[in-house]
Amino acid sequence: MIKRIGILTGGGDCPGLNPVIRAVVKTAIEKYGMSVVGFKNGYKGLYNNETVELTLENTSGILHRGGTILFSSNKDNLFDYLVPDENGNMVKKNVSHVGVENIKKNNVDAMIIIGGDGTLTSGRDFARLGVPVIGVPKTIDNDLSSTDTTFGFDTAVGVAAEALDRIHTTAESHHRIITVEIMGRYAGFLGLSAGIAGGADVILIPEIPYDINKVADHIKNRIANGKEFSVVAVAEGAKSVTGEVVIQKVIENSPDPVRLGGIAQKVAEDLEQMVGLEARATILGHIQRGGTPSSADRILSTRYGVAAVELAMAGKFGNMVALKDNQMTYASLEDVIGANKAVDPNGELVQAAKAIGTCFGD
């Protein structure tokens, strides 16, 4: 019988994390009479046993709050964790047993782990050690293949689309090309959806390698037709037909060391030379991940949180809650990890954008 649930949030912050936490706590306490403990700062907090008792009182009023009241970390993998050796040198070791011990110390009967691919990979590995784990998918990139939609995506699309709306007026007023860099890593769902919603004239995504000459020709045609400006939505993982992506930096001690960034600046510089209009780049960055979750994400997050508790109560551990055909279901963590989805270049959404004259540089 489950009497106590543990919960942690890992990876990048995301609109909707707090509504998931709230839903877990309210369902566990009000429906089943259980208690809930939160591990702060992701897996780092699990290692250091940094905990907070989660109650109806301290989770009240967090439905509309962005971020996570449990805080997070995207650098800590307890199966490959930096610790000092006997000489004081920092070395990587498997310290997952410490996490297992702390779960037991807190009398946790089931762990609900909220995160993206990296966080859920460790969740799967803890499940292999016998920890009763339920995963909840979290990413604004919407690239997890086992669920139709991840919470946070709708909010991020809305933020990016509003930014494109605002950029449009400046681009038109000054006869400029403005490129807008949108998150999403190696998946183009965020860039594609925001680009369409924000009326971008050009959308560049990783799944459709672009030819900068074709992009320039499209903008020149717009100028010839009296449109002396263009707005270009560029997914951060977009690549040219030569296969290059632009990397901002590499963080060696991170489980996911590559940080993309800078593609909008490169595209702006190239287009300015090729077209002749002044070009500027805008990088939205973490603005897309912060702030109040949309109503759609609040609803979806609540459904995920409730479903996670119900899955735990059914004893279906080693699984991740998922949304399929607007129904809550689940998928094995073994099948979820590494099985990311990508935009279909021939899919209906891309074809709809092309039908209204959007250029993808192909």
Q: Which residues are catalytic?
A: 141
3/130 Cα distance (integer angstroms) = 18
Apex 141 CA angle, 138 and 147, nearest 5: 55
Helix (H, G, I), strand (E, B) or coil at 128: helix
Please choose, from the candidates 166, 144, 119, the residue with its C-alpha nearest in 3D space to the C-alpha of residue 10. Answer: 119
Helix (H, G, I), strand (E, B) or coil at 303: helix
**What contacts 119, CB < 8 A, 6 or more positions away?**
10, 11, 42, 43, 113, 138
Please choose, from the candidates 185, 174, 100, 175, the residue with its C-alpha nearest in 3D space to the C-alpha of residue 139. Answer: 185
Strands 319-324 and 327-332, how do they pair?
antiparallel
Tokens of 97: 């047993």
Rg (CA), the chain: 22
318/321 Cα distance (integer angstroms) = 10
Q: Where are the alpha helices (DSSP H) in the chain?
A: 17-26, 42-48, 96-105, 117-128, 153-174, 189-197, 212-224, 263-275, 295-313, 333-336, 348-355
> Do the beta carbons of residue 259 and residue 250 sit within 8 Å?
yes
Dihedral angle sign, alpha carbons of residues 215, 220, 226, 231: positive
Dihedral angle sign, alpha carbons of residues 328, 329, 332, 338: negative
Largest CA distance in the chain: 71
Q: Is 198 left (phi over 0), alpha (psi -120 to 50) or beta?
A: alpha
Tell me whether residue 329 is exposed, middle or buried, using C-beta atoms within 10 angstroms of its C-beta: 0 to 12, 13 to 18, 19 or more.
middle
